[in-house]
A and B are shown apart, each in its own frame.
Chain A
Amino acid sequence: MSAAADGWIRRFATDPNSVLERQLCMAGTYLVSQLLFLVPGVSATDLQPVVIGAVLMAAATVAALLMRGPSVPNRFAMIIPLVDIVSVGLLRAGTGGAASIFTALLVLPIISLGVEPGRLPLIVGLPVTVAVVLLPLRYDPTALDGADWLRVFFTPFVLGLTALSVNELTRRLRSRVRAVQRLRRELEELLGQVQDQAAANAATSTLLRETTAQLRSIIDAVTEQAIVGTDPGGRVDVFNAGAQKMFKVAAHDVLGRPLLGALQSRDDIDAGELAAAMDRARAGAAQMSEWTYVQADGSALRLRVAISARHDAAGDIEGFLFVVTDVTHDHEQARMKDEFVNLISHELRTPLSSILGYAELIVDDDEHPLSDEQRRFMAIVERNAQRLLRLVSDLLFTAQVESGRFTVQEQDVDLHAVVRASVEAATPAAHGRDVRLVLSEPDRPLVVRGDAGRLGQAVDNLISNAIKFTQPQGRVAVGLSAITGPGNDADEPDRAVVSVSDTGIGIPADELDRLFSRFFRASTATAHAVPGVGLGLTITRAIAAAHHGQIRVASTVGEGTTFALDLPLPAQQDPNQTLAWRQPAATASASVQK
């Protein structure tokens, strides 16, 4: 829009409707009309109304000037044309009345009056006009003789119609002006909104660019992990710097291509496996797996891959994210650690084999029987060799658990047999410490799936700990029971519990959380110089976990400790089943005590 057009619209739309402009026009015309007095035949018949009229015209012009002030209400503006009508009426009356040449001047204030807003100026103007038309009678009683009286009605009627027409036209014009003003305001508001929106869009675009750049810099700053994004169909759309470094492939060679096809060399992962992993990720669970990737130079990388689905704002899957970590070094370290542990184990077990073997030969030598003292000394040698052997075995077992190589060969395991064997094996130690060892077991058979040797090791650990931590004259109670979970039939227990309770020195409550940590020893154990290295409970918990069970502990310092090994029972067991191991004389409570 040009500046000129804009100015015109502003002027038009603001509709100043200045009474001063109209009055100046009126006064100018009035003054010019006074030149008619110079025309021969045109003269004042009565000078007084002419002068009064001129004064009124001047007064109206001054009033119009004063009305420019903002404090003057607009409705007072109609006074000016009314005064003009009276002024022209007086001029007319003093220059011949109905025959006056100045009668035509009445049109101007009438139009000015019609311009005033509303109908009130017209209503007020009609009697004023009638009075002005009748005004010549005051100076010449014969002025309306004959048919001239019709002027009293006709002239105001015509002038009134003129004013009404002007008023109506002006009203319509004003309404259009208001409409234009409204449209202009709306246009300005819209323009403002558009400008605001444009500014907001620019800010959003800037923010988006910054965020994208920041995200890109973060992703590319990850140089030790590969971050690969694909669309839902598996075509690569993100390939960060770490991926380029790890796979030795440039991003532009990969983007837009199917993931597996894009990686030039690979192993042990095929399209079917990848699709299955993506399907599982699509279902909501992040997938962890390990791939072997063979590089172009033939070296193999062991990669740990986390696959998760990417979702858009609507929650629909827009692709997949692969975060790949090179664990080749970790695997190599784990392998070296395994080798080291195996080597140490082998090198420790071999001399122990000699010690125990030759000790056995000395003790069992019938040709050269030992004295009682020598037998006692040899027993000490053997006991300590066995202790060292257990420590080596525990270290090796712990290393196996840590490396994830501990597996359980599942078979039916009779828990009664396991618990009885452990109690029997621990009885000499209990005797040695003057601790009463008690076993209670239910009549019903309790068979779990698992490794009898490992379960025996777990129960051995619990009982041997209990005996070690119990003072002479104390008591260790070993219990076997079946429990039923909430909502299950009481006749169909779903878990078996091996509990070992002692009246020992107890464990402080704030140490219970760490009790199963490797090499952790309770403060009460060290304070009482109880031997051990802190591996037994770590191993026991690992065995429980490998059997889908758990181990719980409750303890009070000075009163004792209870450990409970909780193991799941297979779905259905026959409570009337009689197992071969059961002794005919077995009772609900058996005890082995000093």
Chain B
Amino acid sequence: MMRFLRGLATYFRNWAANKVRVPLRAEESVTRFVFRTEHLFKDGRAKPKAFMPETHPATGEFELSVCRLEGCPEQRTWHVGKTCRRDVALKARADFPADVAFQNQLHGFRAPEPDYAEHAILLGWPPADGDKSHRMSIAQALADAARVHAPPT
């Protein structure tokens, strides 16, 4: 009996850790919030740096945080951009089709957070011990597809 209960507890722990991930759809658009002016070209387009992934502190996996735009009114999108990070001011947002990520062998999943239900992540980047140039190439593809918008005044 005790062994059964221990197994059940392990199962639910693993389920919670791996949470059922809802994939993004190819038809939907997402946006990347830009907080540094040096992540934009002088002509206002997004640089690839704005789309370079970060390392997840727990898993060590590369991921890129984005905000889903589907069903998200403009006002709400800007509010999320301005409040999701308290330490820096929002400079712009760069919208792009999720399909561009999929064409570059990335996978997108919803990853809602408290007060930020629209949060999503793009996974499947070449690993840290792999080829950085490949990550840069993917970031360039996303930057190239992105349309940049300045925050409303």
Do these two chains really belong together in a complex? no
Name A residues whose Cβ lies closer than 8 Å to a Cβ of B. Answer: none
Name B residues whose Cβ lies closer than 8 Å to a Cβ of A. Answer: none
